[in-house]
Structure 1
């Protein structure tokens, strides 16, 4: 099932059966879970929402049974709407997302201290070869991923950084913010580059700030860097740039490593 079909099949009044090709080990791919909670917010009574500014997602338990979504509006002000969306797997709380939606307003200050990594364009970066794609989880095949620098997974890297262009294979007519949230976690955790043999690794929580308008489709440059790893966890920084060189989102993620 394509990403568009996976999102279009969501009805918050009914249970949601996870498509088999969107599994990540024993649970749902985290990016799809996050995207579904955002889509559920858009289906709620607060459907006319301002642009998304911040998303915080906690992955609490495996999403392995029929999923249900419960959006709750916490507060609606003149500029800002704050919502929680709980995702249940059967009777178990599997994920909780907190979203802040906010309209633009005048600011006295404007600054930006960030620079896009120096990489080739997505069309100049080679696609992952077929042999490499066979090693990828099923959900990753829904994306066109082209490594653009950094280190390779399972390479024993000293520099635990992943850098790749990525785009949906089918997200036409999906809300741009939902599509980006679904794409943003398609790379493995950056700590995976420091491994030399496969081992379990999973997201615990994820925070993203959206700092520029999101285009409907196309290529995005994803960067993640494991800032600290030890005692069973890795804390990584994340950036998302669009093809025009605009920084669209910055975030952090706590990852359980084994």
Structure 2
């Protein structure tokens, strides 16, 4: 069973065994909604937590991909896991997250394929040619309390974050998007829970969609999200950068980098999402 925690995030992804081996049950809270459904990164963390229960020797996702098949809503859910292979340094597993629809039928919401390891056993040094995003100090950035009211109304999960966006990337909030397709900022959970591998899955999908910076506001539902974790994050704030280079056929990709307090690139992700509909 998932250990008890006072953090809203840990309570939100908490699971209990559900009868058969490999099955778990949890409850999706209203506080993690964005637009028309539960945040995709939060859902991925919930499924990843079920896989963690099945792989105690390899507790951390190294690479995890989720395909979102239908919008999740607040309420009960179940996760079915299957361990495909257990190795000395790496294990592979799948998970499927289900909810009941209005007719009482089990509907598949999310399907996951992942490789798990023990990040604590890996070299903590991260060698990369990438550089952390250049941003002003946190006190000079824009907090979520300054977000447009209509956006906050559609994003209950913002109240769970201490998110401070780079002023150079918030022109969209004033009706003046830069058109660069980039949003970046400082992040930590509002209750000061320190980052860990499961929290990084949430962070990879925590910022407003980069389509806001392209003048396309609105809900951008995730189709597929893949996260690669490089190291256990240091305690403290995270620097997060989202960017896109392509928007075509009603879809766009969003690349994310997550840097920890020690200046290491601890996670990267790419997702495919649906472009918000023009109003």
SS at match of 1:17: strand
Q: What is the CA RMSD across the aligned residues, in angstroms?
A: 2.5
Q: Which moved more, 1:187-196 or 1:148-157?
A: 148-157
Partner of 1:56: 65
Give me the whole-angstrom Cα distance separating, in 1, the residues matched to 2:66 and 2:29: 21
Report the Cα offset of residue 94 of structure 1: 0.3
Instruction: For 1:1-258, list aligned pairs within 5 A.
Output: 2-8=8-14, 10-13=15-18, 15-44=25-54, 46-64=55-73, 66-90=76-100, 91-103=106-118, 111-130=127-146, 132=148, 135-136=151-152, 137-152=155-170, 153=172, 155-170=176-191, 172=193, 176-195=196-215, 198-215=217-234, 217-257=235-275, 258=277
Query: Shift of the alpha carbon at 1:105?
Result: 6.5
State TM-score, norm by structure 2: 0.80
Any idea what SS the aligned residue of 1:227 has?
Answer: coil
Whether contact under 8 Å (2:253, 2:270) holds in the other structure is: yes
Distance 1:146 1:121 in 2: 10
How many residue pairs get aligned? The number is 250
* CA distance 1:74–1:36, change in 2 (3 Å): same
Unpaired stretches in structure 2, ≥5 consecutive residues: 1-6, 19-23, 101-105
Residues 4, 171 of structure 1: 8 Å contact kept = no
Shift of the 41–131 alpha-carbon distance from structure 1 to 2, 3 Å rule, reads closer
Counterpart of 1:16 in 2: which secondary structure? strand
